[in-house]
Amino acid sequence: MRRSKEIWYLLLFSLLIAAVAGLIMTVGRKEEKNSYTVSVIVNNSSDSRWTSLREGAEAAARDYNIRLNYVATGEFWGKQNELEIIYKELESGVDGMIIQMYASEGVYEGIEARLPREKCVLLETDITPEEYYQTVGPDNKELGSALAERICQDFGENLTGKTIGILCGNTGQIALRQRLDGLEETLLKAGAKIQWKLAEMGRNPDKKLFEEKWNLGADIVIALENSETERAVDYMQENQISVNNCVLYGVGNSEKVVYELDKGRIQALLVPNEFHMGYQSVKELATKLEYHTAEMRNVTTGYLMVDREHLYDAENQKILFPIVQ
């Protein structure tokens, strides 16, 4: 009788072990099935302006079981250059892609047949035809208006007699054109005179044209993207242009522009919340890959306006330096 009980307990124990092993294998297969590889393609991927976005993307990747592949890129010199990088990633068999497009026009036909909408999220800007791919980024027209409103506030709500120079950046992107529209509308209502604008696309900006524009003079210079803000600071330092003679406002979040803000060389900096943009882009794509949906709900991310006086406020620190949080 005792031996029968021992055999029964042994059998029961064996069945329990088998059940646990089966459960572990099932969970393992489920995790393997639900893990996706996503490539991230942005302009000049090693630039420090992407630090916050990368931190946000990695946080979401941990939450949603995504393997991120950051594609090493330099400065994009044209839309075909970026398309070739996209094609190469698609051929490698990645499950999805998060892309910052170099240009808004002339690329849709190049990727639509190869990259289904449920496998792609765009950062910052649309491509034409609009609303085919899901986008994650700020409301760019609102962003431009907010920067102009800050300038008006600093100059007593009246810019009559003030001359403005604008470094527009890559206006081949819808995002930058929207920023410019919002900025100009608000500035012109306040009585400002736009003395010059400089819009460029390409790997090697025209240094001579850049200098010619600056030589036209301006009381206020506004840079609408991170690289242009850095470029403006460098030019002012190299040419010993005092902040008393020309006030600089910019958009950006790289270590360099934050440093220059702290040194007083930038009057105010509009900082897109790129941690949120990185997190949301991975979250949205993970959801689409898991549920095979072509969700087109575009996600609007925020921004903050920072000046030297409030640079180290706790709330600003959370967005500016997410690594330390």
Q: What is the pLDDT of residue 151?
A: 97
Q: Tell me: do 289 and 178 sit in the same domain.
A: no
Q: Tell me: do 75 and 193 sit in the same domain.
A: no
Let me know if residue 108 belongs to a domain: yes
Q: Report the number of distinct structural domains present in the chain.
A: 2
Query: Do 223 and 250 contact (CB within 8 A), yes or no?
Result: yes
Let me know if residue 308 belongs to a domain: no
Let me know if residue 171 belongs to a domain: yes
pLDDT tens sequence across 84-94: 999 999 999 99
Domain end point (choices 272, 289, 311): 272
Let me know if residue 315 belongs to a domain: no
Q: Tell me whether residue 38 is exposed, middle or buried, using C-beta atoms within 10 angstroms of its C-beta: 0 to 12, 13 to 18, 19 or more.
A: buried
Q: Tell me: do 44 and 144 sit in the same domain.
A: no
The CA distance from 16 to 24, in Å, is 12
Q: What is the pLDDT of residue 29?
A: 46
Let me know if residue 16 belongs to a domain: no
Q: Tell me: do 66 and 162 sit in the same domain.
A: no
Instruction: Give residue for tokens 């491509």.
Output: 127
DSSP-assigned letter for residue 296 = -
The CA distance from 284 to 297, in Å, is 9
Q: What is the pLDDT of residue 230?
A: 96
CA distances from 63 to 57, 155, 228, 282 (A): 10, 45, 34, 10
Q: Tell me: do 40 and 189 sit in the same domain.
A: no
Let me know if residue 243 belongs to a domain: yes
Q: Tell me: do 254 and 170 sit in the same domain.
A: yes
Q: Tell me: do 161 and 224 sit in the same domain.
A: yes
Using only C-alpha atoms, what is the Rg of the chain?
Answer: 25
**Structural domain range at position 110:** 33-138+274-301
Q: Give the predicted TM-score (pTM) of the model.
A: 0.86
Q: Tell me: do 261 and 217 sit in the same domain.
A: yes
Q: What is the pLDDT of residue 31?
A: 46
Which residues of the chain, if any, have pLDDT below 50? 27-31, 33, 324-325
Let me know if residue 181 belongs to a domain: yes
255: CATH: 3.40.50.2300
Q: What angle do CA 241, 245, 251 make, to 5 degrees?
A: 75
Q: Tell me: do 255 and 144 sit in the same domain.
A: yes
Quick one: which of 101, 118, 54, 63 has its CA closest to 285?
118
Q: What is the pLDDT of residue 292?
A: 84
Q: What is the pLDDT of residue 19?
A: 60
Q: What is the pLDDT of residue 130?
A: 75
Q: Tell me: do 161 and 239 sit in the same domain.
A: yes
Q: What is the pLDDT of residue 132?
A: 87
CA distances from 171 to 61, 125, 190 (A): 31, 11, 24
Q: Which two tokens stand for residue 9?
A: 């307990």
Q: Tell me: do 118 and 78 sit in the same domain.
A: yes
Let me know if residue 223 belongs to a domain: yes
Q: What is the pLDDT of residue 324?
A: 44
Q: Tell me: do 182 and 208 sit in the same domain.
A: yes
